[in-house]
Structure 1
Amino acid sequence: MARFVIATVNGEWMNDWFAPDRMDGAAWRPTFVRDGVECDTEQAAGLLAGLIADLDADVVALQEAPSRAAELALFLDTHLAGRYRFLLGDSGGSQKLALLARTAVEAELVPPAGLAGLIEPWLVDVDGDGLVNEYEFTRDPLVCRLTLDGNPLAIVVAHLKSNFINRGEQMWRDPARRIEFVRSALQNRRRIANEGMRMRQYLDARLDEDPDAAIVVLGDFNDGPGRDLFEQQYLAHNVTDLLVGSSYRPETLFGHALVDVPADLRYSAVFDDFVTEEPQKRILLDHIILSPAMAAGAGVRKTPGSGRIEHDAWAARRVGTGERRDERATDHRPATVAVET
């Protein structure tokens, strides 16, 4: 039996670390600015690389990767030399999706021709005006074919639309502009939900073709756990439950790897919520879900009880308070799961 660890890591604006696009390759910025603070690039990049090394995963789904392959190669060559090969998506602007794989893992991108039912624009109503318009992913999911110990595994790396609103707190606290904030918040969540729906349609089609397919979907879903205030009071749904599947087709329900984590530790990010006035609110933005065959089937299957949120590894790569970008590896705790063949 062979065992492999799969991780999801949000790199938190890795693109900040590199000089503007240049024809002769990639170069580090000595410093960068994030949240109005000048930060040390070498320290920030070293903390993230140290966290990835500590996870010791065979496969790493990376969100908020650099915008160019030369930049990601520079990061890996400088800090993780010889450990990983990578695949980089071509969607997402300055926040790309990437997959890092050890040399023992065969990995390739599914070509766009095989993803027509996923990444091509589709018709939806994302602003609640009753009209449908063409919409497309903020960042196309990165769909990869892997071979683990001779067994096929599909991995879908996702970073769904952010629900961030620029100057949102000022809008919320201004009675004259609060409704503007609410409308923007709802539009963002409708976009996230429609991206989740599109992914689920793709997964259903894959399972219709092969009910025994081993598929891992992971990354930053910008959702969860449960329903936030806007989902409770306006939309009556969340996104992760949509991605997991429908109880009307129980044979297609995905399992959530992080149910293995105790409920009080089932979070991957912490922030002050100015809407609900909750300081240090714990939320689970980072997820790993697995196709039904991975519960007990042949081929690649989940190691029972192996889902983890890597709180200790994250804390070990924090300097001081971790408030500055160069005092933390990332603002998301990574999540991991082990699979075996």
Structure 2
Amino acid sequence: MRLATYNIEWFANLFDRKDRLICDDTWSGRHDVTTAQQVEAIAKVLTAIDADAILIVEAPNTGKTQNTVRALQRFAEVFDLRTSHAVMGFPNDTHQELALLYDPACLSVRHDPIGDDGARSDAPRFDSVFEIDLDIDATEDQVQFSKPPMELAVRTRAGASFRLIGAHLKSKAPHGAGSRDEAVRISIANRRKQLAQAVWLARRIKAHIADDEDVILLGDLNDGPGLDEFENLFGRSSVEILLGAGLFDPNATTAYGPEPGVAPSTARFPRPNTGGHLEALLDYIMICDRLRAHRPEWRIWHPFHDPICKAQTDLHDALLTASDHFPVTLDIDL
């Protein structure tokens, strides 16, 4: 079985208010890329990775007239993708939804949020409020997800069941800062909130593992080594918190292990002031320890670092056109 996570930048811009696909010469949200070019590139990438289920990070919007599931299923139908069904969790106000495209012949999937809605809960439901003392001042802060994680109950055609949690954690970027001091303040506050969200996730994961359930966490954690100057301020990264909950990802281990190696990259962003690009490890597929016996194999579909992606010109170009993130896949015997 192949699972994937893929952050598709500005995917919502490719649909109108009635979820009809926009595929013409108008500009997409990506720099110097038309909607037709991005649509075709996304379809090429999804066809190439050929996953049984794909977490779409920054999926099309759900709102007054729009529906994420409808938009994704229409996209799948237009390009005859076998991942013809979609499911999502809690909608949010950011126009960046979390949703799963999946092949119904391989999997049955349902949104199954766990936890009550009380802030005093050890790990409340992800659309609720989490109370934690973030700055050790004996006062509990209230934390909410701007993009609540999607918690799914999944069963394979072979009868195996597991919990699939899709996440898009808080960005640490100081958006809206008007000065250096304000940027520092926002960056520290955002990192503190992101770490709280990771603690919340970790507690949920530990609870599932304690209940003898297999867990897979995947998505854009917006954290990786070397991303900003405040990463050592709190002692641990959000990735390390989640690994400490009993999860494993070889790319994360390479980056954060006792002898860190050169960190892999799942995203590539232009540097507007200095030129060139920033490479970052942001996207992960983490599995519980028990699933490590199921012959897992990870792959980052990077257009420059993956030899096959680099050699296949059409796929290489599609990966660069479709998004500033690249898919991560997990092949595992389930």
Q: Is the TM value for this pair above 0.5?
A: yes
Structure-2 separation of matches of 1:292 and 1:308? 19
Contact 1:261 1:307 in 2 (8 A): no
Structure-2 separation of matches of 1:27 and 1:201? 39
Three-state SS of the structure 1 residue aligned to 2:185 is helix
Instruction: Tell me the TM-score normalized by structure 2.
Output: 0.80
Q: Which amino acid aligns with 1:152?
A: S
Q: Structure 1 residues 227, 282: closer, same or farther in 2, change over 3 A?
A: closer
Q: Structure 1 residues 104, 261: closer, same or farther in 2, change over 3 A?
A: farther
Identify which of 43, 49, 53 aligns with 1:49.
Answer: 43
Q: Structure 1 residues 32, 18: closer, same or farther in 2, change over 3 A?
A: farther
Aligned to 1:249: none
User: What does 1:117-128 align with in structure 2 at a 5 Å threshold?
Assistant: 117-119=124-126, 120-124=128-132
Number of aligned positions between the proteins = 306
Q: Which amino acid aligns with 1:132?
A: E
* Cα displacement string for residues 26-80 of structure 1 (whole angstroms, at most 9, x for unaligned residues): 3526424426x56421220110111111011112111000012222222211124
User: What does 1:251-262 align with in structure 2 at a 5 Å threshold?
Assistant: 253-258=246-251
CA-CA distance at 1:82 after TM superposition: 4.1
User: As a proportion of its length, which structure holds more helix?
Assistant: 1
Identify which of 56, 59, 64 aligns with 1:65.
Answer: 59
- Do structure 1's residue 157 and structure 2's residue 166 form an aligned pair? yes
Aligned to 2:301: 310
Contact 1:138 1:161 in 2 (8 A): yes
Structure-2 separation of matches of 1:318 and 1:52? 13
Contact 1:261 1:308 in 2 (8 A): no
- Do structure 1's residue 332 and structure 2's residue 308 form an aligned pair? no
Instruction: Tell me the TM-score normalized by structure 1.
Output: 0.79
Structure-2 separation of matches of 1:115 and 1:7? 29
CA-CA distance at 1:182 after TM superposition: 0.5
Three-state SS of the structure 1 residue aligned to 2:166 is strand
Contact 1:53 1:80 in 2 (8 A): no
* Cα displacement string for residues 164-204 of structure 1 (whole angstroms, at most 9, x for unaligned residues): 33355xx5xxxxx2111001011111111111110001011
Structure-1 separation of matches of 2:309 and 2:325? 8
CA-CA distance at 1:314 after TM superposition: 5.9
Contact 1:26 1:70 in 2 (8 A): no
- Do structure 1's residue 17 and structure 2's residue 14 form an aligned pair? yes
Aligned to 1:34: 29
Aligned to 1:100: 101
- Do structure 1's residue 209 and structure 2's residue 233 form an aligned pair? no
CA-CA distance at 1:225 after TM superposition: 3.3
Q: Where do 5+ consecutive residues of structure 2 fail to align?
A: 62-66, 118-123, 256-260
Structure-1 separation of matches of 2:234 and 2:115? 33
Q: Structure 1 residues 226, 200: closer, same or farther in 2, change over 3 A?
A: farther
Three-state SS of the structure 2 residue aligned to 1:8 is strand
Residues 154-163 or 104-113, more deviating:
104-113
Three-state SS of the structure 2 residue aligned to 1:295 is helix
Q: Where do 5+ consecutive residues of structure 1 fail to align?
A: 172-176, 246-251
User: What does 1:116-195 align with in structure 2 at a 5 Å threshold?
Assistant: 116=117, 117-119=124-126, 120-124=128-132, 131-148=139-156, 149-166=158-175, 171=178, 177-195=179-197
CA-CA distance at 1:269 after TM superposition: 1.4
Residues 179-188 or 37-46, more deviating:
37-46
Three-state SS of the structure 2 residue aligned to 1:162 is coil
Q: Which amino acid aligns with 1:62?
A: I
Contact 2:110 2:152 in 1 (8 A): yes
Contact 2:10 2:28 in 1 (8 A): no
* Cα displacement string for residues 73-124 of structure 1 (whole angstroms, at most 9, x for unaligned residues): 2221112444431112332331011111112222322334656523121123
Contact 2:252 2:284 in 1 (8 A): no
The structure with higher relative contact order (CA 8 Å, sep 6+) is: 1
> Alignment RMSD, CA only?
3.0
Structure-2 separation of matches of 1:290 and 1:27? 34
Three-state SS of the structure 1 residue aligned to 2:170 is coil
Q: Structure 1 residues 214, 134: closer, same or farther in 2, change over 3 A?
A: same
Contact 1:118 1:199 in 2 (8 A): no
